Amino acid sequence: MKQSSDRLRQTVVLVSAILAIVGSFIGSGAAGGTPIQNASGGALAADATPIAPDGPAFGIWTPIYLGLIAYAIWQFLPAQTTDARQRTLGYPVAASLVLNAAWILSIQFDLLALSVPVIVLLLAVLIRAFHLTLASRPKNLVETIVADGTIGLYLGWVSIATAANVTAVLVAAGFGGFGISPDIWAVGVIALAGLVGVLIALSGRGRLAPSASLCWGLAWVAVARLTGTLLSTPAAVAALVAVVVILTVTVTIRIRSSSSTSTRGLVPA
């Protein structure tokens, strides 16, 4: 009976991954849908808000999706059927995949307001999955990459994407910022994203993957503010400072963590 529920979990993860990949094709416009940056009246375009990242930033989805596919296939192997770690990770990962597809559909159907609770819930699920990876160590390098690495990349990107999404919805709704300059709002939101990055580094004991994808997003926010049509030097500087702070904290903790655990096995990604 237990093994039957394990196979069900593995199947749910695999099917959810397929659903997410189909959704990504629709979201990219490859399957006839409107590209995300053009959907919902362009609310998520690079020049829509002061904290929107430039277009190339979304290339991060390629390694994230490849990692999710790899994880879905790897966890489906018989060797992982009764694995205790995969029993805890399976359903949170599956939930994140379904929520990802739901977020894309909400944008495609111009339900911009609905996208906020969906992405916030997605972020919460990924935080849960990330903390589950911290509770035990991966068995080998493959698990480190496809499970810990993928979940970390996913969490880091969705962290900055959530901030950008909420800002986009507020701007589209006509939020005036209570008379406060958009530059100040942008710096404040970016500072909050930087704080989230520091907290992830601290709680994750210097995990590289979430910091890398979060910094990737922030770096492209800086590029968009320096070279795009919506220029903002304060926002660009804030984004670059956040990148430096996150990376410094992450690397410092990583070095300390690596020295203290090097004799006990593999250091997670």
pLDDT in tens, 202-223: 999 999 999 999 999 999 999 9
pLDDT in tens, 40-51: 778 888 899 999
* In a domain? residue 223: no
* In a domain? residue 221: no
- Are 167 and 49 spatial neighbours (Cβ–Cβ below 8 Å)? yes
Q: What's the pTM?
A: 0.93
* In a domain? residue 9: yes
Distance between CA atoms of residues 93 and 13, nearest Å: 7
Residue 161: what pLDDT?
A: 95
Number of domains in the chain: 1
Q: Which residue has the higher pLDDT, 257 or 242?
A: 242
Given a cut of 90, is residue 185 above it in pLDDT? yes
Distance between CA atoms of residues 168 and 174, nearest Å: 10
* In a domain? residue 18: yes
Owning domain of residue 4: 1-180
Given a cut of 80, is residue 151 above it in pLDDT? yes
* In a domain? residue 52: yes
Q: What is the DSSP letter of 39?
A: S
